[in-house]
Amino acid sequence: MNGLLSSAPSQQAVRLALGGLLLQFIQSALLLLSPQLNGDDRLLIWALTPITLGLFAFALRGNLGSAGNSARSRHGR
């Protein structure tokens, strides 16, 4: 899988980035709808934030191992 920073990002990377952004939008919407933040809201925010950042980081990096192996097999090396 090629990451988002490569010249030809893969569909999986784009889907992971969009999924991460969707989680971020859900988190923001919950914040906007809540007049005051209580302990449960803060817990939900802290639970969604690392997942969102992890998906975005993985989408940027991509799966370097599979991209290199497929390129080698195509060229017969």
Can you tell me the distance from the alpha carbon of 67 to that of 11, in angstroms, rounded to the nearest whole number? 13
What percentage of residues in the chain have a pLDDT greater than 90? 0
Quick one: angle between helices 11-33 and 39-61, nearest 10?
A: 160
Give pLDDT, residue 28: 79
This prediction has a pTM of: 0.56
* Count of structural domains, the chain: 1
Residue 5 lies in a domain: no
Residue 1 lies in a domain: no
Q: Which domain holds residue 35?
A: 11-74
> How does pLDDT run across 34-56, given as a tens digit for each residue?
778 787 877 887 888 888 778 77
Residue 68 lies in a domain: yes
Residue 4 lies in a domain: no
Of 49 and 70, the one with more pLDDT: 49
Task: Kindly report the average pLDDT of the chain as a whole number.
Answer: 76
Give pLDDT, residue 74: 56
**Per-residue exposure over 24-51, b if at least 16 CB sit within 10 Å of its own CB, e if not:** beebeeeeeeeeeeeeeeeebeeebeee
Residue 33 lies in a domain: yes
